Structure 1
Amino acid sequence: MEEIWVEKYRPIELSEIEGQDNITERLETFVEKKSLPHLLFAGPPGNGKTTAALCIARELFGENWQRNFLELNASDERGIDTIRTRVKDYARTRPIGDFPYKIIYLDESDALTSQAQHALRRTMEMYAETCRFILACNYSSKIIEPIQSRCAVFRFKRLADEDIEKVLETIAKSEDIKLTKGGIKAIIYVSRGDMRRAINVLQAASALGEKISKKVVYDVSAEASPDEVKDMVELALDGKFEDARDKLLDLLIDRGLAGDDILQQMHREAFNLDIPEPVKIKLVDRIGEFEFRLVQGANERIQLEAALAHVALIGNRLKS
């Protein structure tokens, strides 16, 4: 029984990270040679950056990898004092055991202030003999050039739908979860390439103790199905503004969805409408304008109804 448990929940290896084969192959080469440069992981959330850093630490240091691995979330501790004290103090001490260096992993490092990044640059330079840094960020452009030039940069790509589907099916089989094809497609739709979110949605849906269908996924993820949003936009384009508004109020008030989320889904579904391309351009342009208004603090209900009104006007011009 113990062997089964260990195999089922064992830590994954670099080669098992889905959707990043080119990156993991290069990282495995560094690990095999035990010659690790400073690393910069950049890319959207939920695609394996933190997992890759943990895999490197485990494969380099073995079972007691935590003794030579420090993980900090730079969005919580992003000031210059953190770099000058905690990071510097850890970097200057020698590693525990027969290892050439320790690893400091700075997650969300693009949240570091400019002063903190300049202090970090000097720390990386001075203590490279005893410590290696792995920086993870969503936007590498927010990392100052001197730090980028000191790192080997790895750009993690957005996960493909088939990669997410493969992981979901593996988890469902392992945990004996009934997951339908419609449920898989719905999870892929709401996760938008984020594996972390896909797994969280799967877990939330499985807690209901039912077969995980498309409806269950949209209920637990607090998102409208693409069909509902598409129908709402098509009703407005057909001149049925009142019907489109009723669907909007159902999503916004009765089901409590956020106005910004509805607009983002309208943007996604605009490209799937059976309308000429110039009309799609106008539609996307108007959706972008209303999204900006919401960001500036405008009333959700009024702006979304106004967005539907503009969609209806575009539909009237399309007919004439």
Structure 2
Amino acid sequence: VIIIDEADNTTHDVQLLLRANIESFYKNCRFIFTCNFKNRIIEPLQSRCAVIDFSLKGKDKKEISEQFFNRLNQILETEKVIADKRVLAELIMKHLPDWRRVLNECQRHSVGGKIDSSILATFSPVNVEDLIKNLKSKKFSEVRKWCVNNLDNDPSDLLRRVYDSLFENLEGASIAAAVLIIAKYQYQIAFVADQEINLLACMTEIMVECEFK
């Protein structure tokens, strides 16, 4: 059994090679591919696999979040760390379902033996309205500043928020162009060397190519 972890971070060419290997060794070998975004796995590779979706939905999300909240409290009590439960709940909701990041943030902020609202201050709120205003005014320096200030957020989430704001801020034909631009840069998130440059390049292309209302 060969396990390819985070296969969605591999390039198109690598996935084509993996497909060829499956064809060559399927009689005596099994392949398991794990990924966060199955849409980044090419269709020929998906068609050779049984796709199992582990994403959390509705009631399951609430139940598992509660279980993790209880487990996190147990860990902190064992380590004799005093924690504000409301802050922990907010932290979990912000990073759901990235439990590893929640644990890492708690570990980083518990050095003094206490976790309070200061842990939330390290995550800047995403203000898309300011971004749209600066894109419309073509203020590149302000757009760059927005990208830098929001790097502590997930890049895919940032692009999704921008996508959600398109329909009320762009002229008709520009909406389609912006969707294609966002799709291109969202795909590149998986393998770019510098997320800031990738995000800024996306915003710059939208600023130059799209017409705002």
TM over 0.5, yes or no?
yes
Question: Structure 2 vs 1, CA of residues 179 and 142 (structure 1 numbering), >3 Å: closer, same or farther?
Answer: farther
Question: Structure 2 vs 1, CA of residues 75 and 212 (structure 1 numbering), >3 Å: closer, same or farther?
Answer: farther
Q: Of 178, 184, 191, which residue of structure 2 is paired with 1:283? A: 178
Alignment of 1:115-264 (within 5 A): 115=21, 117-121=23-27, 123=28, 136-138=32-34, 141-142=44-45, 153=50, 155-156=52-53, 158-160=55-57, 162-176=59-73, 178-180=85-87, 181-188=89-96, 195=97, 198-207=98-107, 208-209=109-110, 210-211=115-116, 215=120, 219=123, 225=125, 227-228=126-127, 230-239=128-137, 241=139, 242-251=141-150, 262=155, 264=156
Question: Structure 2 vs 1, CA of residues 236 and 215 (structure 1 numbering), >3 Å: closer, same or farther?
Answer: same
- Distance in 2 (CA, whole Å) between partners of 1:202 and 1:291 is 24
TM-score by length of 1: 0.40
Once the two structures are superposed, what CA deviation does each residue of 1:86-141 show, in whole Å capped at 9, x if it has no partner? xxxxxxxxxxxxxxxxxxxxxxxx985634654342x48xxxxxxxx7x5334584
> Following TM superposition, by how much is the alpha carbon of 1:157 offset from its aligned partner in structure 2, in angstroms?
5.1
- Distance in 1 (CA, whole Å) between partners of 2:203 and 2:51 is 42
TM-score by length of 2: 0.55
Residue 155 of structure 1 aligns to a residue in which SS? Answer: coil
- Distance in 2 (CA, whole Å) between partners of 1:292 and 1:311 is 16
Question: Structure 2 vs 1, CA of residues 294 and 202 (structure 1 numbering), >3 Å: closer, same or farther?
Answer: closer
Question: Structure 2 vs 1, CA of residues 204 and 237 (structure 1 numbering), >3 Å: closer, same or farther?
Answer: same
Q: Of 267, 272, 278, which residue of structure 1 is paired with 2:159? A: 267
- Distance in 2 (CA, whole Å) between partners of 1:143 and 1:206 is 37
**Conserved in 1, the CA contact under 8 Å of 2:95 and 2:102?**
yes
**Conserved in 1, the CA contact under 8 Å of 2:3 and 2:33?**
no
**Conserved in 1, the CA contact under 8 Å of 2:69 and 2:92?**
no
**Conserved in 1, the CA contact under 8 Å of 2:185 and 2:198?**
yes
Q: Say how many residue pairs are matched.
A: 176
> Following TM superposition, by how much is the alpha carbon of 1:290 offset from its aligned partner in structure 2, in angstroms?
5.0
- Distance in 2 (CA, whole Å) between partners of 1:167 and 1:184 is 11
**Conserved in 2, the CA contact under 8 Å of 1:290 and 1:303?**
yes
Structure 1 unaligned blocks of 5 or more: 1-71, 77-109, 125-132, 189-194
> Following TM superposition, by how much is the alpha carbon of 1:200 offset from its aligned partner in structure 2, in angstroms?
0.6
**Conserved in 1, the CA contact under 8 Å of 2:91 and 2:102?**
no
- Distance in 2 (CA, whole Å) between partners of 1:302 and 1:201 is 23
**Conserved in 2, the CA contact under 8 Å of 1:186 and 1:214?**
no
Residue 74 of structure 1 aligns to a residue in which SS? Answer: strand
Question: Structure 2 vs 1, CA of residues 202 and 213 (structure 1 numbering), >3 Å: closer, same or farther?
Answer: farther
Structure with greater Cα Rg: 1
Counterpart in 1 of 2:79?
A: none
RMSD: 4.5
Structure 2 unaligned blocks of 5 or more: 6-15, 35-40, 77-84
Percent identity between the aligned chains? 12
Counterpart in 1 of 2:212?
A: 318
Q: Does 1:75 align with 2:9?
A: no
**Conserved in 2, the CA contact under 8 Å of 1:270 and 1:280?**
no
